[in-house]
Structure 1
Amino acid sequence: MGKIKIKILIFIGLIISCNSNKIEFGNTELSQKIELMNISDLMQNPTGFDNDTLKIVGELHLDLENKGIFSKSEKIWINSFKPATELDSVWKRINGKKVEIIGLYKAGKTGHLGLYNGQLKEIYYIKTK
C-alpha cells in the first residue's frame, strides 16, 4: 500500500511539473482587472489609448534592435520590462513565445528607426501562454 501511494504522488508530481511551463512575472491581480485588447484595435485609434494601462496578447521578439510584441503585421515596442521583472535574467526563456502582457502604453512612432506603432514604457505583468 505504501508503494502505491508513492507511485501516485510521483505521477501527480509529473503532471503538475508538465503543466508548469508557463512563466509569469509581475502583479498577477492586474490580469483579472484589466480587459484584453486586440493590438489591431489599438492601432485603429492609438492616441485614444495614450498613457493607458493595457493588456494585450502577442508574440514576443527580443533581438538587439527589435524588442517588441507582435500580432500579425502590428507591433509595439517594449521599452522596459520593469517593474515586472529584470529581463536580462529571463529573456532567453520567453523570447519567441506567445505572451499576455500588461503595461503602460505610449502612442507614437518609436523603437529602432521608428518602425514601431507605439510602446509599452513599463510592464506590470507578463505571462507566457
Structure 2
Amino acid sequence: MTRFYIAMLRNKAARRLYLQTLLIVLLLFHYIYVSGHFGEFGVLFSTILCGILFSHKRAERWLHLMKAHRQLYFRMAVLSMAMVAIPHLYTMAVTVAFLLLASTFYPSASILYEWNDKEKQERWRADSRALAEHYF
C-alpha cells in the first residue's frame, strides 16, 4: 500500500485515474442494474450524482470534504444504510457507499500540502508507518 500512497501523493494523473475508475465502475453498475430492472426510476437520482462526478475538480472537492469531516462521513454512511431499505433508492445507496470507500483511500488535502516539503517526503519514504498515519 505504501507504493499506492506515494503514487497518489506524487502524481496528479494517478488521482485522476482513481476518480475516473470510480466513475466507470459506478456507471457500469448502473448499466447492469438498469438491464435487469426495467422501468426502475430510482436510478435517475444516482445517475445525476454520477453526472456531477464527471468534473474532476468537483469530485476531488467532495472526496476531500468527506475525508476532512468525520461527522459528515458518518452521516453519509448512515444515510446509505437507510437508503438500502428503500427499494427505489438502492442504486443511490450503492453510489454513496462507493463514494465513501473512495474517499477513504484518497489522500487528504493536508497531506497533499505537506508532500511539497522535501524533508517530510524523505522521512515518509523511509518510514511507511509515518506515511500511513499522516495519509489517513
TM-score by length of 2: 0.23
Point out the structure with the larger strand share: 1
TM-score by length of 1: 0.23
Larger radius of gyration: 1
Point out the structure with the larger helix share: 2
